[in-house]
């Protein structure tokens, strides 16, 4: 379903108790930074960069590394890739509409759920001027990353909100799938993937400014934080 297919009846019924955001591609434009780091790592491992880039979005670094180089220490290599990413944090940018979405979310309960590390997440939020939420679920906090529902279920539990009362904003197909498997409403943005790849989402929007317009009228009375 695209945003243009949302009926008035559905819109009136859409109420929620918490808003959960993915980070990269949703709140922060980090595409060039992420892809440069993984291209460098792929080159060092004599791998085809496009093969690696085809699976990195939404997955933990450890998982990607284990897929391509199971003979290497995934934790050690993930730290290396993380170092590569922090070298270019000056290129990070706040996605248009992201600040407005966070402002809406802060009226009630909210969280950020990312496949990156806690250090990368807090650095990126600070770099673009966004607050670090009380509930921040990162790669270190889960046993199974996206598309497993564990990251989103952990966030809902930490917020004290039923999974079915959460709305998630995602940009990657495996992130969308993780949130849907957790029983949540999913809004997808086409910042890193085409709409056709985000078909499991409940609604698909061109960007975060459109998401803020949708969220605003429906977040008027969230449950108190």
Q: How many CB atoms lie within 10 A of CB 186?
A: 24
| CA-closest candidate to residue 159, choices 12, 21, 11, 15 | 21
Instruction: Give yes or no for a cis peptide into 147 (omega within 30° of 0).
Output: yes
Check if 83 is active-site: no
Check if 210 is active-site: no
SS3 content of the chain, % helix, strand, coil (to 5): 50, 15, 35
Q: Are 184 and 20 in contact (CB under 8 A)?
A: yes
Measured distance CA(55)–CA(160) in Å, rounded: 32
Distances (CA, A) of 69 to 49, 74, 80, 147, 179: 13, 8, 14, 21, 28
Catalytic residue selected from 22, 29, 202, 210: 22
What one-character-per-residue DSSP string does 155-206 give?
HHHHHT--GGGEEEEE-SHHHHHHHHHTT-EEEEETTSS-GGGGTTSSEEES
Q: For the purposes of burial, counting CB atoms within 10 Å of the CB of 143, is it exposed (0-12), middle (13-18) or buried (19 or more)? A: exposed
Measured distance CA(134)–CA(179) in Å, rounded: 20
Active-site residue list: 22, 24
């Amino acid at each position: 379903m695209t945003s243009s297919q949302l009926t008035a009846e559905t819109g009136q019924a859409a109420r929620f108790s918490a808003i959960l955001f993915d980070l990269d591609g949703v709140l922060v434009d980090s595409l060039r930074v992420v892809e440069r780091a993984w291209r460098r790592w792929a080159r060092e491992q004599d791998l085809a960069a496009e093969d690696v880039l085809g699976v990195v979005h939404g997955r933990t670094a450890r998982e990607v590394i284990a897929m391509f180089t199971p003979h290497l220490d995934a934790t050690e290599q993930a730290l290396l890739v993380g170092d590569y990413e922090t070298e270019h944090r000056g290129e990070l940018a706040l996605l248009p509409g992201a600040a407005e979405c966070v402002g809406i979310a802060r009226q009630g309960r909210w969280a950020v759920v990312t496949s990156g590390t806690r250090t990368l997440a807090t650095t990126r939020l600070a770099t673009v001027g966004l607050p670090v939420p009380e509930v921040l679920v990162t790669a270190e906090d889960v046993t199974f990353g996206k598309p497993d529902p564990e990251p989103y279920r952990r966030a809902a539990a930490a917020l004290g909100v039923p999974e079915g009362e959460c709305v998630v904003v995602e940009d990657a197909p495996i992130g969308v799938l993780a949130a849907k498997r957790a029983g949540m409403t999913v809004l997808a943005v086409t910042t890193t993937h085409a709409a056709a790849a985000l078909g499991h989402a409940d609604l698909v929007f061109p960007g975060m400014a459109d998401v803020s317009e949708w969220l605003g009228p429906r977040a008027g009375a969230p449950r108190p934080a």
